[in-house]
Amino acid sequence: MKNTFPAPGSREVAVLGLHEVALRCGVELRFVEQLVEIGIIHAHSADPEPADPEPAAERRVPSESTLRVHRAARLQRDLGVNLEGAAVILELLDQIESLEHELRSLRRA
């Protein structure tokens, strides 16, 4: 079983199963599955062409997804934010990070 995804620019990205993500983040597997269902993290099949529907726990996510899982769990636990709200907050944080990166690049130019 391949443990990397080819990413844009031919860079390989380490991947983890949903169960491993849950263990690393100290959350229930069902919580990680819910994050996939609402799009907070994006999972891919371990087999590019599975014959049967694959159990969610067998799906793979980029290892960087653990940061999003931690953030979603903290938003829910510490601030009482529901998962849909966490999705919006995380998207806004991604946009801020992207804009900050762009601003740093423009300042260097």
Q: What is the pLDDT of residue 53?
A: 56
**Number of helices (H) and strands (E), helices first, in the chain?**
4, 3
Mean pLDDT of 55-62: 77
Percentage above 90 pLDDT, the chain: 72
79 band by pLDDT with thresholds 50, 70 and 90 = very high
| Contact (CB, 8 A) for 11 and 58 | no
Backbone angles phi, psi at 88, to 5 degrees: -65, -45
Q: What is the pLDDT of residue 2?
A: 45
In the chain, what are the domains?
A: 4-108 (1.10.1660.10)
Q: What is the pLDDT of residue 48?
A: 60
Q: What is the pLDDT of residue 50?
A: 55
- 29-50 pLDDT, tens per residue? 999 999 999 999 999 876 666 5
CA dist 109 and 104 (Å) reads: 9
pTM (2 d.p.): 0.76
